[in-house]
Amino acid sequence: MNENELPATDKGSGEVGLKNSAMPSEEYAIELKGITKRFGEVVANDNVSMGVKKGEILALLGENGSGKTTLMNMISGIYYPDEGQIFIDGKEVRITSPRDALSLGIGMVHQHFKLVDVLTAVENVVLGLPGKLNLKEAEAKIREICDRYGFVVDPNKKVYDMNVSEKQTVEIVKVLYRGVNILILDEPTAVLTPQEAERLFRVMWRMRNDGKSLIIITHKMHEVKEISDRVVVLRKGQYIGEMNTEDSDIQEMTNMMVGRSVTLNIERKTPVNPMPRIEIEHLTILDEDGVPKIQDVSFTARSGEILGIAGISGCGQKELLEAIAGLQKIESGHIYYVEEDGTKTDLVNLSPLKIIQKGVALSFVPEDRLGMGLVGTMNIPDNMMLRSFRDGLLFTHRKEPRKLAETVVEDLSVVTPGMSVPVKNLSGGNVQKVLVGREIASNPKVLLTAYAVRGLDINSSYTIYDLINKQKEAGSAVIYVGEDLDVLLELSDRILVLCGGKVSGLVDGPGADKNEVGLMMMSVEGKEVEKRN
């Protein structure tokens, strides 16, 4: 993992080298003027003008649905603007397809990687290029790019064998291979560990020093502060303002983004009378190939407490939560549910239905958001019914789910054109609110939640954190799996760190150190763990 570490000075020089000195040229590498894009009645971008200089990292900020991705999609050729002009190096251009964008030197690294699993890194990199196929030559060129920017990637490795960080590297190499000068990164750190994110930042600084322009979309404010030179804020599709990063702070940026002053503190009340609720003993889970996904894991989750689970993606969090919810085949071990009066039931052999009746609620937001928990083609009330469809003798009850749907929509300010709209047509953040809202509405004794704020903007995220905190105060045992380590540290009362399916540490939330937890995520008792998904 560490073979790619660059000397520490490199980062420093990158930061000082360009951040404070005058830009080599003040002219914009790409400039947008009066860009408007409508989808039917909805105005996604309204008269947006902005520019990115050469050798600059620009952070694009905005809440969900503020039009950041739409704007970037217009630059990268996926959409075509209804009005407005795009200039590259001062010349007006028309970008009507991703191919146009690439030939103008614009590349985008999407949030969900656009890679073909069964192809190798090289094959993915040359995909879509014209001319005769010469993989040897391409491989040499890839190695050259890797040396230049400090990537480590095996060109002949198949993508399905790669971890997230490697896949992202391939994505970046892919755009650099095409000679890109303007690089757009859509939430690049969402799936990375702090260490991997650091490494990405160093690469980004190198590219900037190379004269390239970078645009980064991220919801993590401390990253904006750390990496960007300038910040542009969008709200409801409109350009709100911009500032130099060093002249601003996170609070100011957030206020501008949301349009009013917001408090960014997560309240962490001391747990009241915590009692063991879920006791896990020596749990082992194998995947379909017989490889352990969870190995000899033991811990206790207590009522009135949030237990955070930290770990890089694919280290077994998903399997662990699914095991508690009764959705995983368990190799060995016990999962005890402890009643208020102290009686213990082993959940291992119970059906998911029985487990739900005990008051265990699972709210898992997978990467595609809809895979578990919601049915995309059904509307919000029908999705609420997935929890209550057994009520009623011959016919299902329809009124209550409908009421619940209305409450969730109102309380969590879900943006939807109407109750009868299929949930897959809602934006990602709103889909999540529906899911989390439903799970919380059942007043669970145990709330399992994974990636509840994945891809949500800062305002919606804090709404969700509030909801989770309320569950904790109401006496639920909350098990929280999250991607943003900073939030995890702020929210959790205790943090269980997983690494490669094993417990690598259990720390108290208050006073936990981010770097320490980050290192635990990478190794068990000081030993590096290489294998991961």
Partner 1 sequence: MIDLVAFIPRAVGQSIPLLFGCTGEIVTEKSGNLNLGIPGVMYVGGICGVIGAFAYEQATKDTGMVGILAIGIPLLCSLIGSLLMGLLYCFLTVTLRANQNVTGLAMTTFGVGFGNFFGGSLIKLSGSDVPTIALSRTSAYFSRSLPFAGNLGWFGKIFLSYGFLAYLAIAVAVYAGFMLKKTRMGLHLRAVGENPATADAAGINVTVYKYMATCIGCMIAGLGGLYYVMDYASGIWSNDAFGDRGWLAIALVIFCIWKPGLGILASILFGGLYIIYLYIPAGMDHMELKELYKMIPYVVTLVVLVVTSMRNKKDNRPPASLGIPYFRENR
Which positions touch partner 1 (CB under 8 A)? 78, 97-99, 102, 110, 114-119, 123, 126-133, 158, 160, 288-289, 424
Q: Which is nearer to partner 1, 79 or 480 (CB)?
A: 79
Instruction: Tell which residue, 158, 195, 173, 134, has the closest CA to residue 5.
Output: 195
* Residue 390 CB coordination number (10 Å): 11
CB atoms within 10 A of CB 266: 17
The smaller minimum CB distance to partner 1, of residues 1 and 370, is found at 370
Nearer to partner 1, 98 or 276 (CB): 98
Write out the H or E segment, with its range, that includes residue 490: helix 485-491
CB atoms near residue 501 (< 10 Å): 28
CB of 376 to partner 1, least distance (A): 9
CB of 345 to partner 1, least distance (A): 35
**Each residue of 392-420: b (16+ CB within 10 Å) or e?**
eeeeeeeeebbebbeebbeebebebeeee
Of 516, 363, 375, 528, the residue nearest 452 (C-alpha): 363
Q: Considering beta carbons, is residue 97 or 413 the nearer one to partner 1? A: 97
Q: Closest Cα partner for 508 from 524, 522, 497?
A: 497
Q: How far is the CB of 179 from partner 1 (least distance, A)?
A: 14
Q: Based on CB atoms, which residue is closest to partner 1, 140 or 272?
A: 140
Tell the smallest beta-carbon distance from residue 274 to partner 1 (Å): 41
Nearest distance in Å: CB 238, partner 1: 23
Tokens found for residue 386 = 């997935």
Closer Cβ to partner 1, 12 or 417, answer by number? 417
Query: Can you tell me which residue has the tokens 């804090």?
Result: 462
In angstroms, give the least distance from the CB of 198 to partner 1: 28
**DSSP state, residue 500:** T
- Quick one: 79 or 151, whose CB is closer to partner 1? 79
The residues, ordered by sequence, that sit 6+ positions from 168 with a Cβ below 8 Å of its Cβ are 109, 113, 188, 191, 192, 200
Contacts of 62 (CB under 8 A, 6+ apart): 68, 233, 234, 235, 257, 457
Name the residue nearer to partner 1 (CB basis): 80 or 389.
80
What is the smallest separation between the CB atom of 36 and partner 1, expressed in angstroms? 18
**Sign of the CA dihedral running 274, 279, 281, 285:** negative
Nearest distance from residue 162's CB to partner 1, in Å?
12
Q: How far apart are the first and last CA of the chain?
A: 14
Least distance CB 4 / partner 1 (angstroms): 25
Counts for the chain of helices (H) and strands (E), in that order: 17, 22
The CB-of-434 to partner 1 minimum distance in angstroms stands at: 16
Identity of the residue, 288 or 410, whose beta carbon is nearer to partner 1 in the bound complex: 288
Residue number, 127 or 152, with CB nearest to partner 1: 127
Nearer CB in complex with partner 1: 99/527? 99
Of the candidates 75, 73, 78, the one whose C-alpha atom is nearest the C-alpha of residue 32 is 75
Per this entry, what is the length of the chain? 533
3-state SS assignment for residue 39: strand
Output 521-530 pairs: Cβ under 8 A, ≥24 positions apart: 521/193, 521/310, 521/311, 521/312, 521/315, 521/497, 522/1, 522/193, 522/195, 522/312, 523/499, 524/499, 524/500, 528/1, 529/499, 529/500, 530/1
Which is closer to partner 1, CB of 335 or CB of 431? 431
> Cβ 386 to partner 1, closest distance in Å?
21
- Return the number of the residue (69 or 303) whose C-beta is nearest partner 1: 69
Measure the CA–CA gap between 216 and 412, rounded to whole angstroms: 28
Q: Smallest gap, in angstroms, from Cβ of residue 438 to partner 1?
A: 21
Our CB check for partner 1 shows the closer of 26 and 288 to be 288
Using DSSP's 3-state secondary structure scheme, residue 275 falls into coil
* Minimum separation from the CB atom of position 160 to partner 1 (A): 5
Residues 6+ positions from 309 with CB-CB distance below 8 Å = 317, 320, 479, 480, 481, 495, 496, 497, 498
Q: How far apart are CA 429 and CA 418, in angstroms?
A: 16
Closest contact distance (angstroms) between CB of 204 and partner 1 is: 21
DSSP single-letter state for residue 335: E
CA 372 to CA 356: how far, in whole Å? 15
